[in-house]
Amino acid sequence: MTNDNISQQKTVLSAMKPSGNLHLGNLIGAAKNWLKMQEDYFCYYAVADLHSITEEILPKDLREYTLDLFCWFMAIGIDPNKSVLFVQSHVPQHSELAWTLNCFTQYGESKRMTQFKDKSAKNPDNINLGLFSYPTLMAADILLYGAHYVPIGKDQKQHLELARTIANRFNNRYSPTFVEPEGIFPKLGAKVYSLSDPTKKMGKSENDPKGVVLLKDDPASVERKFKSAVTDSETSIKYNPTKKPGISNLLVIYAELLGLDIKTAEKHFDSKSYAELKEIVAKVVIDCLTPLQQKYNSFRGDKDNLASLMKQGADKASFVARKTLSKVYRKVGFV
C-alpha cells in the first residue's frame, strides 16, 4: 500500500495483551471485527507486551504468548502487507511518548480509573506504578499513529476518554499535534460463555480448563469439552440466556461460526437432543479451528520468517512513531 493510499484512509489502532492462550471467545468476539476493519481502514495491530508486565508473568510465558499472538493474528487473516502488525516493545517510542504524556496526566485522573481500582483490589500486593500509568501508555499507543478510531469494549471506554483528554490538553498548550481518537464499539461477535459455567464469560483466566476452548485445542479435546458442557434438565433447544444459559451459549457459538441468526440456528436443531446439539457444535468448531491451526503452525514453525515479519512490522510502525515523537519533543522544548 502506498503512502497516498494510507493518507486517504482513516486509521485504526487495535492492540491485544499477550497474557494467555487465545480461545474461542476471542475468535468470535474480536477476530471478525479485526478482519472487517482491515478492509475499511488502514490498521495498526499491536501485540501489547509492555502492558503484560503490570501483572506478574513468567518471562518464558510472556515470550511464548507474544509469539503465539503475533502468529494467531496472521492465521486469522491479518495481512502484514495490508496492515501494520508489530510487537509493542519493538517500537521504543511507545515508552518514550508514555513518559512525556505522564507529565500531561493528572494524578486524580489516573486514580479514578476503574480498572486500576479493580486490579488493585484483586492484587493488593502488586499495586505498581505501571498499573497506575497503564492508561497513559495506552494513550501513547493510540496517539503515536494518529489513530482516528480505536475498537474498544465498554470496560475500555474510560481509558479512551483519558487519551482524548490528554491529546486535547497537549494540543491546547502547544498547537494541534494529536488526533483526538474516537471509539468504535463493534457489533459483537456475541459474548461466548464458559462451557462449564455458562453464567461466566469464557476467559484466559478460567479456573476450570474444561470450560475454555483454546484455539490450539486438538479435535479430541474440543469434542470432550463440548460433550461435558453444562446445559439444563429440560429437552427443548431454545435461545433463552436467562433460563437456558448453557443451551443459549451453544446456539450462539454455532450461529456465529456459521454466520446465522439465532432463530435460524434454533430451527436447525428442531427435534434434536442435547447430545446431538453438543456433537454438531463441536464439529463446527473443529472445522473452523483446523485451517486456522494449520496456518498458525506454519507461521510459528518458521522462525526466520517470523523474525523477518516482526522486524518488518516494527520498521513500519517505527517510521510513523519516530515522526510523531520528534514533533512532540520539539514542541515541549527538548533539544
What is the reported pLDDT for 7?
A: 45
What is the reported pLDDT for 199?
A: 92
Higher pLDDT: 151 or 190? It is: 151
What is the reported pLDDT for 5?
A: 43
pLDDT digits (tens, 9 = 90+) for 143-162: 999 999 998 877 778 889 99
pLDDT digits (tens, 9 = 90+) for 214-230: 999 999 999 999 999 99
In our burial notation (b when 16+ CB lie closer than 10 A, e otherwise), range 305-330 reads: ebeebbeebbebbbebbeebbeebee
Q: Are residues 243 and 162 in the same domain?
A: no
- State the total domains in the chain: 2
Higher pLDDT: 325 or 55? It is: 325
**Predicted confidence (pLDDT) at residue 187 exceeds the cutoff of 70:** no
Q: Are residues 124 and 271 in the same domain?
A: no
- Report whether 12 contacts 148 (CB < 8 A): yes
Q: How far apart are CA 26 and CA 130, in angstroms?
A: 25
- Report whether 332 contacts 174 (CB < 8 A): yes
Sign of CA dihedral 149, 155, 156, 158: positive
Range of the domain at 282: 209-296
Higher pLDDT: 66 or 203? It is: 66
- Report whether 235 contacts 274 (CB < 8 A): yes
Q: Are residues 292 and 307 in the same domain?
A: no
Question: For residue 197, is it within any domain?
Answer: no
pLDDT digits (tens, 9 = 90+) for 297-326: 999 999 999 999 999 999 999 999 999 999
Question: For residue 120, is it within any domain?
Answer: yes
Q: Are residues 115 and 70 in the same domain?
A: yes
Question: For residue 201, is it within any domain?
Answer: no
- Report whether 154 contacts 187 (CB < 8 A): no
**Predicted confidence (pLDDT) at residue 1 exceeds the cutoff of 70:** no
Closest CA to 51 of 121, 136, 177: 136
Q: Are residues 29 and 104 in the same domain?
A: yes
Q: Are residues 101 and 162 in the same domain?
A: yes
What is the reported pLDDT for 2?
A: 41
- Report whether 286 contacts 297 (CB < 8 A): no
- Report whether 254 contacts 226 (CB < 8 A): no
Catalytic residue annotation: 119, 201, 204
CB-based contacts of 34: which residues, under 8 Å, 6+ apart? Answer: 14, 43, 45, 73, 76, 77, 78
What is the reported pLDDT for 144?
A: 97
Cell output for 70: 503475533
Q: Are residues 217 and 136 in the same domain?
A: no
Q: Are residues 52 and 153 in the same domain?
A: yes
Question: For residue 108, is it within any domain?
Answer: yes
What is the reported pLDDT for 3?
A: 41
Which CATH number belongs to the domain containing residue 251 in this structure?
A: 1.10.240.10
Which CATH number belongs to the domain containing residue 327 in this structure?
A: 3.40.50.620
Task: Look at the block and give the residue holding cell 462451557.
Answer: 195
Question: For residue 136, is it within any domain?
Answer: yes
What is the reported pLDDT for 114?
A: 79
Cα–Cα separations (whole angstroms), residue 21 to 89, 118, 156, 216, 276: 19, 23, 21, 8, 28
* Proportion of the chain above pLDDT 90, given as a percent: 74
What is the reported pLDDT for 179?
A: 96
Question: How confident is the prediction for the chain on average, in pLDDT?
Answer: 91
DSSP 35-89: HHHHHHSEEEEEE-HHHHTTS---HHHHHHHHHHHHHHHHHHT--TTTSEEEEGG
Question: For residue 14, is it within any domain?
Answer: yes
Q: Are residues 71 and 148 in the same domain?
A: yes
Q: What are phi and psi of 86, to 5 degrees?
A: -150, 165
Q: What average pLDDT does this structure show over 178-185? A: 90
Question: For residue 81, is it within any domain?
Answer: yes
Prediction pTM value: 0.89
What is the reported pLDDT for 8?
A: 62
Q: Are residues 146 and 244 in the same domain?
A: no
Q: Are residues 150 and 16 in the same domain?
A: yes
Q: Are residues 136 and 57 in the same domain?
A: yes
**Predicted confidence (pLDDT) at residue 263 exceeds the cutoff of 70:** yes
Question: For residue 132, is it within any domain?
Answer: yes
What is the reported pLDDT for 101?
A: 96
Q: How far apart are CA 188 and CA 44, in angstroms?
A: 20
Q: How far apart are CA 6 and CA 71, in angstroms?
A: 24
